[in-house]
Structure 1
Amino acid sequence: MSSQHETLIEAKTVSISHRGRAVLQNVNMAVRRGEIVTLIGPNGAGKTTLVRVMLGLLKADSGEVARLPGLCIGYMPQHLTLSENMPLTVMRFLAMAGNKSKLSMQDVLQELDIEQLADYPMQRLSGGEHQRVLLARALLRQPDLLVLDEPVQGVDVTGQAALYNLITRIRDRFNCGVLMISHDLHLVMANTDQVLCLNNHVCCSGHPDSVSQHPAYLELFGTAVQAELAIYTHHHDHTHDIHGNVESHHQEHDHG
């Protein structure tokens, strides 16, 4: 039986250089079951490199990565380019990924509110729909750890909020850990448990409230983000779904 807060994956003093330039310097981070951890930082900060090292796709020059034995990882790429000349429905795309878990395709489509898109061509999906299908593909593995690289890429601000709410719901429903790379400071701060601010080394880390006040964070992102954060961190009595419809918070939790 899995422990609620067991450590799924942990980087210990990871360092890596590329052409003589330090990309990561003595980075420590961990993701536990039931926890959403978000990596933020400027372009070139080493966020993607750190995730690739943690996934075993890159070897660090020094340090180590410890993974829970038998850890199952579901990965959602930043984007996926499909040829316009290759007609591919959502259902066919998901079937190509294979499914070795107990979750059925129908379960996943229903969980992500995209049942109506099953026979839709991938090339005709909106930004938000496309990202939900990529998330569905990652979820089909019924992973212990979901790794999401810029999950709201190409999605409008209403769709972004809905997608972040969905990620939180998936974490609650499947009791998985989530490791996310994001640039969307204003929204991500309200939808994560731990933030790690990276600029080739760990500038600061911790709960979003403390990180957003940290001098290193403010130096990287500027005090202008404070006003932006204030807009999004207050509580709403409703949210919008993938289609832009208003749904109340108590309706939203009925899925969980």
Structure 2
Amino acid sequence: MSALIEARNLTIHRTGSTEPVLRDVDFRILSGEIVTVLGPNGSGKSSLVRALLGHLPLAAGRITRRPDLRVGYVPQRMQFETAIPMTVRRFLSLPRRIGDDAAALVLARTGADGMQSRQMTQLSGGQFQRVLLARALLHDPHLLVLDEPTQGLDQPGIVAFYRLIEEVRRQTGAAVLMVSHDLLVVMRASDRVVCLNGHICCEGSPDHVSGAPEYRALFGTGAEGTLALYRHHHDHDHDGDEACDRHHHPAGAS
């Protein structure tokens, strides 16, 4: 299968500096995959996403995107001025106006039915995330990019949101690239978890990464098993896990 986005030997410098925030990163995401990028604050997660989407210059390496690629994006933070009214319906029509039927359909898909007239500032955390997701789905993306999508949600809200993402993937076939810094909110449905800290420390299935020495070295010896918040029961097979030391010992290296 061809990749939706593929990065080879990616290096990115901090703004105004020659110091790399990311170095020698190889990354790809295939159609229909759920990939979680995990790492502490300052590890380069947001820089990786911005580079993959073409919003950040590269110091080295190259990025290839499928020519017809459509991306839906759920940002880490979005704030609204309380003094300026903004209904859900109006928000969905920014920057491109959509019809009432399309708005109702996409809100129903994310479990936000009937919220068109609600003010964005009056939504709960879970409702807000569902509306953001609805907006990201408006134009049938091939890839959904979710930057810290469960930030501020409680544990039941996190589990509900992850179930929703899994259902969206099932219905649409869209790939999902999710970014997180919180060990407790990694989605068990992830086909791959990529552990990042300026470079790729390790990657593989959630079970594989949670037991990897590179993961424990980065997050502490007590971190093993913390990826078990939301257990996904697979009814399908994925290709074999990536070895966690793949980036330390490439094929052919001695």
TM-score using structure 1 length: 0.85
Q: Return the structure number with greater helix share.
A: 1
Identity %: 46
Correspondence for 1:12: 8
> Cα 1:231–1:39, aligned 2, differ >3 Å: closer, same or farther?
closer
> Cα 1:14–1:154, aligned 2, differ >3 Å: closer, same or farther?
same
Correspondence for 2:173: 175
In the TM superposition, 1:89-168 aligns within 5 A as 89-98=87-96, 104-168=102-166
Segments of 5+ residues of structure 2 without an aligned counterpart are 234-254
Correspondence for 2:19: 21
SS of 2:129 mapped into structure 1: helix
Correspondence for 1:212: 210
Letter in 2 for 1:67: R
Correspondence for 1:64: 62
Cα separation, 2, equivalents of 1:147 and 1:54: 10
Cα separation, 1, equivalents of 2:196 and 2:226: 20
Deviation at 1:153, TM superposition (A): 1.4
Deviation at 1:79, TM superposition (A): 1.5
Deviation at 1:7, TM superposition (A): 1.2
Q: Deviations over 1:83-138 (max 9, x none)?
A: 0111111111101242689x821211111111121111001011111111111111
In the TM superposition, 1:238-249 aligns within 5 A as none
> Cα 1:162–1:209, aligned 2, differ >3 Å: closer, same or farther?
same
> Cα 1:209–1:78, aligned 2, differ >3 Å: closer, same or farther?
same
> Cα 1:12–1:99, aligned 2, differ >3 Å: closer, same or farther?
farther
SS of 1:197 mapped into structure 2: strand
CA contact (8 A) 1:89 1:118 kept: yes
Cα separation, 1, equivalents of 2:177 and 2:77: 17
C-alpha RMSD over aligned residues: 1.9
Deviation at 1:45, TM superposition (A): 0.5
TM-score using structure 2 length: 0.85
Deviation at 1:68, TM superposition (A): 0.7
Cα separation, 2, equivalents of 1:92 and 1:114: 15
Deviation at 1:208, TM superposition (A): 1.2
In the TM superposition, 1:36-55 aligns within 5 A as 36-55=34-53
SS of 2:42 mapped into structure 1: coil
Deviation at 1:183, TM superposition (A): 2.3
